[in-house]
């Protein structure tokens, strides 16, 4: 693991990676932190390690985001334990610049005294929640994050859901400034008491830590009421306050219910709300939040080609009375369109143009178990997308950024209200990372080749040898697993089912009972 303190050294390293021996573009994951790393950060590091070839952690206590009366001087700085934790997590580089190195040449403790070009997020997002008391804080965050993103130019950057306002503002700045990075959010990690992990928990004495657990308990009270049908923000907020009042040492700063994307306050919660609070315990300021989602459950089924995902997903959907979405069919339909139009598969620019304009219609029949019917630009392609030609090209298309962005957007629209079984390669990891049940369906390549051969036979397609079939599958799996964007991976919280020797009915039953255990019975 390397430790850099200067921009010049970091840039030099990044250049050397780009010009690596194989000249293959390497995915870079950036985890921006202020140090004093804990188990919450560790999940960000692990996720970054899983998804990228190179993982860079920045440790910088950013003076721009501290107000004059805040804890900039006191904020815990502990490079050696941080270094050890990063080393263990398989981090490649730690970047630890000084304020001077980051262009804050007065080491500015006060935001206003730093002469620096700054990034100003929309007022509507910075004036609510923590922005009410922390003036200038989010401008400081937006500025430093933009600087780090520009310096490292990562493929992905990782942030915790605990700082939900920060996350929403960063997502917005990335969208508004067209920054070429994927923002990955990781769930809040909590102590067994429910207290959300935070570097500032170090300030708490044992008894205060115990008292602080009321924050999450109060949010859970509101969640319970929400799940029982309460939709009024005022009522839910009143419940939080009632619970907090049981611990007199807690001094509530705010509790608000806002739209998690725009941060606009909500009176009534139609689809989803971010219920967030900040409170003081002695001199320590703590924040916490919970997402309230009025959505039916989502079942995500991922796995390699030929593992039986589509048949199983369709049957699971039917058994549970949910909708079934075959995302592979969408990638296939786009591939068919590109092949039809004579655009070379490598011509990403022309493909981006047609993908953004194409209209895909999927019609799932809930009476029969027939495959989903597919139309692209009004032409039915249900059969055509299963041809050998489409199958052999689809992974190359599915690796292209514009194709994925467009199709993922459409898939997320399908899933907005939940109540859906979605099957593909990146559903549990990227499309619906908060799916209630995640399954990773797999089988040996021999078994999968046999199944695919049978499938082709049933469709009257050319008969490939078993060996050829296996080679095709291995190649497609390799492409799907090794692409930079949203590769095929088992989500850490998914349940793996190896389907060799199991009938479709057996696999379906297994998933249906997992659903009943995990989702219906909570």
Q: Between β-strands 437-442 and 495-498, what pairing exists: parallel, antiparallel or unpaired?
A: parallel
Does 41 participate in catalysis according to the annotation?
yes
Question: Of 41, 137, 156, 476, which one interacts with ligand DC (CB under 6 A)?
Answer: 476
Instruction: Pick the catalytic residue from 38, 41, 137, 430.
Output: 41
* Distance of closest approach, residue 385 Cβ to ligand DC, in angstroms: 8
Q: Which residues on adjacent β-strands are paired with residue 2?
A: 93
Return the number of other C-beta atoms located less than 10 Å from residue 478's C-beta: 13
Q: Does residue number 441 form part of the binding site for ligand DC (CB under 6 A)? A: no
Q: Does residue number 424 form part of the binding site for ligand DC (CB under 6 A)? A: yes
Q: Does residue number 451 form part of the binding site for ligand DC (CB under 6 A)? A: no
Q: Which among 6-14, 328-336, 360-368, 434-442 is the span making contact with ligand DC, rule CB under 6 A? A: 328-336
The candidate with the shortest Cα–Cα distance to 128, out of 271, 258, 236, 234, is: 258
CA dihedral 387, 457, 407, 185 (to 10 degrees): -140
Transcribe 394-434 into DSSP letters. Answer: HHHHHT-HHHHHHHHHHHHHHTTT--EEEEESSIIIII-TT
Determine the Cα angle at 274 with ends 269 and 280, to 5°: 130
Nearer residue to ligand DC within complex by CB, 237 or 329:
329
Size of the site for ligand DC (CB under 6 A): 14
Question: Of 140, 328, 418, 428, which one interacts with ligand DC (CB under 6 A)?
Answer: 328
Distance CA 373, CA 379 (A): 11
Nearer residue to ligand DC within complex by CB, 50 or 311:
311
What number of residues does the chain have?
A: 522
Distance CA 275, CA 268 (A): 12
Q: Does residue number 332 form part of the binding site for ligand DC (CB under 6 A)? A: yes
Applying the rule CB under 6 A, the residues between 300 and 319 that interact with ligand DC are: 305
* Distance of closest approach, residue 398 Cβ to ligand DC, in angstroms: 3
Distance CA 435, CA 433 (A): 6
- 195-216 in b/e form (b: 16+ CB < 10 A) is bbbbbbbebbeeebbebbbbbb
CB 26 within 8 A of CB 14: no
Nearer residue to ligand DC within complex by CB, 82 or 477:
477
Q: Does residue number 288 form part of the binding site for ligand DC (CB under 6 A)? A: no
Nearer residue to ligand DC within complex by CB, 48 or 394:
394
Nearer residue to ligand DC within complex by CB, 225 or 330:
330
Q: Does residue number 484 form part of the binding site for ligand DC (CB under 6 A)? A: no
* Distance of closest approach, residue 492 Cβ to ligand DC, in angstroms: 18
Locus of tokens 């502990």 = 78
Six token digits for residue 283: 């001199």
* Distance of closest approach, residue 493 Cβ to ligand DC, in angstroms: 18
Q: List residues near ligand DC by CB under 6 A.
A: 305, 327-328, 331-332, 394-395, 398, 424-427, 476, 480
- Which of the residues are catalytic? 41
């Amino acid at each position: 693991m390397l430790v850099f303190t200067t921009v010049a050294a970091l840039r030099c390293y990044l250049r050397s990676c780009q010009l690596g021996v194989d000249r293959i573009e390497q995915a870079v994951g950036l985890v921006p932190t202020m140090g004093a790393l804990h188990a919450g950060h560790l999940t960000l590091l692990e996720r970054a390690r899983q998804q990228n070839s190179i993982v860079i952690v920045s440790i910088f206590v950013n003076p721009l985001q501290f107000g004059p009366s805040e804890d900039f001087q006191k904020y815990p700085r502990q490079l050696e334990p941080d270094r050890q934790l990063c080393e263990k997590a398989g981090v490649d580089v730690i970047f630890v610049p000084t304020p001077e190195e980051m262009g804050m040449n007065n080491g500015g403790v006060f935001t206003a005294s730093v002469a620096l070009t700054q990034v100003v997020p929309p007022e509507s997002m910075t004036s609510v929640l923590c922005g009410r008391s922390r003036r200038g804080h989010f401008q400081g965050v937006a500025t430093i994050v933009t600087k780090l993103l520009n310096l490292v130019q990562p493929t992905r950057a990782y942030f915790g859901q605990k700082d939900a306002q920060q996350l929403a503002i960063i997502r917005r700045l990335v969208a508004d400034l067209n920054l070429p990075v994927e923002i990955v959010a990781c769930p809040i990690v909590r102590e067994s008491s429910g207290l959300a992990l935070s570097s500032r928990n170090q300030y708490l004495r044992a008894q205060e830590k115990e008292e602080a657990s009321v924050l999450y308990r109060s949010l859970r009270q509101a969640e319970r009421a929400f799940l029982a049908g309460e939709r009024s923000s005022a009522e839910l907020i009143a419940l939080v306050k009632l619970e907090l009042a049981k611990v007199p040492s807690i001094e509530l700063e705010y509790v608000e219910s806002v739209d998690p994307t725009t941060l606009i306050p909500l009176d009534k919660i139609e689809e989803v709300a971010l219920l967030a609070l900040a409170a003081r315990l002695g001199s320590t300021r703590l924040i916490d939040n919970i997402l309230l989602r009025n959505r039916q459950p989502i079942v995500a089924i991922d796995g390699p080609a030929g593992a039986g995902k589509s048949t199983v997903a369709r049957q699971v959907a039917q058994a549970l009375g949910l909708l079934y979405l075959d995302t592979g069919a969408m990638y296939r339909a786009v591939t068919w369109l590109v092949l039809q139009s004579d655009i070379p598969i490598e011509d990403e620019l022309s493909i981006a143009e047609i993908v953004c304009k194409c209209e895909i219609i999927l019609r799932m029949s809930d009476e029969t178990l027939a495959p989903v019917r597919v139309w692209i630009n009004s032409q039915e392609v249900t059969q055509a997308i299963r041809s050998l030609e489409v199958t052999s090209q689809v992974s190359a298309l599915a690796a292209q950024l514009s194709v994925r962005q467009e199709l993922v957007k459409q898939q997320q629209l399908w899933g907005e209200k939940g109540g859906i079984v979605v099957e593909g390669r990146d559903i549990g990891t990227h499309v619906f990372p908060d799916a209630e049940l995640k399954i990773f369906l797999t089988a040996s390549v021999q078994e999968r080749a046999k199944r695919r051969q049978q499938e082709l036979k049933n469709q009257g397609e050319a008969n490939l040898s078993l060996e050829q079939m296996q080679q095709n599958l291995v190649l497609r799996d390799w492409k799907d697993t090794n692409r930079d964007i949203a590769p095929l991976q088992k989500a850490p919280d998914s349940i793996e089912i190896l389907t060799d020797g199991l009938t479709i009915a057996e696999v379906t039953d297994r998933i249906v009972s997992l659903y009943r255990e995990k989702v219906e019975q909570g």
